[in-house]
Amino acid sequence: MGKLTVFDRRRRRVRTTLKARAGGRPRLSVHRSGRHIYAQIIDDAKGHTVAAASTLGKPGANVAAAADVGKALAEAATKAGVTSVVFDRGGFLFHGRVKALADAAREGGLEF
């Protein structure tokens, strides 16, 4: 195992504290790349994805697109019967696209 990057260390730190405090709630995991933003709600107890949304197939991955993903994810989660989650930002800072996605998911009805 090689030396971990700052990003990987931050991701591990965020995820371990999250899982300790989750209390059985599913995890809203976010991944941001240069071209797209992805979000999924994961039930760690069962080990499967409950709902997912991304900007794949749509042009751009700006703040507005991230907000659309947040709204779509909230709708999919509501259909799956999930209302309360824990927000897993991974190694990403809670700013810009990640924050826009989180705010839109909250407006869509998810509690975290």
What's residue 60's pLDDT? 83
CATH 3.40.50.20 for domain 6-107: no
Give the pLDDT confidence of 3-37 residue by residue, as tens digits.
Answer: 999 999 999 999 999 989 999 999 999 999 999 99
The SS3 call for residue 5 is: coil
H/E stretch holding 65: helix 63-79
Distance in angstroms (rounded) separating the CA atoms of residues 51 and 100: 18
What's residue 56's pLDDT? 96
Residue 1's pLDDT band, with cuts at 50, 70 and 90, is low
pTM recorded for the entire structure: 0.93
Q: Is the pLDDT of residue 42 over 90?
A: yes
Q: Is the pLDDT of residue 106 over 80?
A: yes
